[in-house]
Amino acid sequence: MKQLVTLTSLLMLANTAIIFAQETTTPGLITDRPDATESPTVVPKGSLQVETGAYTTTYEENNIEERVWGYNTTLLRYGILDNLELRVGWAYQEVETKINDQEVSSLNGMSPLLFGAKVAIAQENGWKPEIGLIGHLFLPFTASTDFKPEFTSADFRFAFNHTLGERSGIAYNLGGQYGGDSPELAYVYTISYGYAITDKLGAYAEVYGDLPEDNRANHFWDAGLTYAIAPLVQLDATIGQSITDGQDLLVSAGVSFRIDKK
């Protein structure tokens, strides 16, 4: 469970599948946060996109409570080609464990740095979705002692996007992840529905999860809002929890912005 929370926060989990209309030739801002669904769209060539925020999760069972805080969960995305972006991400975390309201452990430090890329494969055409491929490595030697995993982690996913109407869309991911505290493969899925309430305010709801080869599946839901305070600046807020055991509450908020090449 902890690994999935870390992964989704590093990945800055995803767009609402909506681009707000603008009277300009500048491409709209499409982010990979706040949800877990990654967008198939790459940032424009020569542009730097910053997606950052914070989150907290809680889980309590049999008088044992675990609370996780993630600070400065930042993803940098840079367009090097028209169909290719490079990605670097990091997160600072604190994990507090209590038994019968008495603190028994406290961990803090940096999670493994994320290095990866996104490739745009196909544009949306009628019933055919927009398609992208995303892959990352999570390097153990970059992590603080408290969060250094036993194995090098890697993930990959195909990202898809369908426009349903002028104000709505659906996006979904299929892929897998390796490593961390186990060498087994875990299959990953997400599906997110987004709706533009106004030209600046959007809402989304999604379900997502992972299915490890030799362990029980984990399933989650979340929902949230995005607000464009400027054409290339977006605020977001999210709330969610697990469907299976593992997360009583998720709350996150953040900001994303893009700096285009002059």
For residues 158 and 122, the answer to whether their CB atoms sit within 8 Å is: no
Would you give the DSSP letter of residue 9? Answer: H
Domains belonging to the chain, first-starting first, are 2-259 (2.40.160.40)
Q: What is the pLDDT of residue 120?
A: 98
Q: What is the pLDDT of residue 32?
A: 96
The single-letter code of the amino acid at 29 is: L
pTM of the model: 0.87
Each as own residue / partner, the long-range contacts of residues 170-174 (CB below 8 Å, 24 or more positions apart, any chain) are 170/17, 170/194, 171/14, 171/15, 171/16, 171/17, 171/37, 171/39, 171/40, 172/37, 173/14, 173/36, 173/37, 173/38, 173/208
pLDDT tens per residue across all 262 residues of the chain:
333 333 333 333 334 333 443 445 678 999 999 999 999 999 999 999 999 999 999 998 888 899 999 998 999 999 999 999 999 999 999 999 998 877 788 899 999 999 999 999 999 999 999 999 999 999 999 999 988 888 889 999 999 999 999 999 999 999 999 877 777 899 999 999 999 999 999 999 999 999 998 888 999 999 999 999 999 999 999 999 999 988 999 999 999 999 998 7
- Half-sphere CA count of 43, side-chain side, radius 13 A: 26
Angle at 127 between CA 124 and CA 129, to 5 degrees: 35
Distance between CA atoms of residues 173 and 39, nearest Å? 9
- Report, in this order, helix, strand and coil percent for the chain, each rounded to 5: 5, 65, 30
Residue 250: Cβ within 10 Å count? 22
Distance between CA atoms of residues 242 and 196, nearest Å? 26
For residues 207 and 186, the answer to whether their CB atoms sit within 8 Å is: no
H or E stretch covering 231: none
Q: What is the pLDDT of residue 25?
A: 67
